[in-house]
Amino acid sequence: MSKKKISQDIVKTISNDLDQSSYFEAPQEKPKVAVKKETNKQINKVTNEVVEEVKTVHHTFDIYEEQLLDLKKIKLEKHRDKVTVSSMVRDALDQYINKEKNK
């Protein structure tokens, strides 16, 4: 069985057609995280505190539907595009964990 080579012109034509297609949108750039250049620390956009950069792990939790709706409402009313619901939950977990540690 022989392999056929595809002309580079055909590849470019197909690529250009796909680039203009509404079905294949170019990936959008992720927003930049506020990071100080000289350190490996981040700035919490809600509290403006400098925090050590940590690895995030995706983990699902069951929460009540009303809790999620309330979080989304708070985000829209107070923070708009400045924070994500995930970051709000992480901050709340940090506060809870610190409170429990200090008991």
Q: Which of 28-37, 45-54, 94-103 has the lowest mean pLDDT?
A: 28-37
In a domain, 65, yes or no: yes
- For residues 23-32, average pLDDT: 62
Domain count within the chain: 1
83: left (phi over 0), alpha (psi -120 to 50) or beta: beta
pLDDT for 36: 39
> Two tokens at 83?
């924070």
How far apart, in whole angstroms, are the C-alpha atoms of residue 71 and residue 74?
5
pLDDT for 65: 94
* pLDDT surpasses 70 at 21: no
The letter for the amino acid at 85 is V
Alpha helices for the chain (secondary structure H): 8-19, 65-74, 85-101
Residue 87 pLDDT level (bands cut at 50, 70, 90): confident
Phi, psi of 50 (to 5 degrees): -85, 125
What mean pLDDT is reported for the chain?
76
In a domain, 29, yes or no: no
Q: Give the domain range for residue 76.
A: 43-103
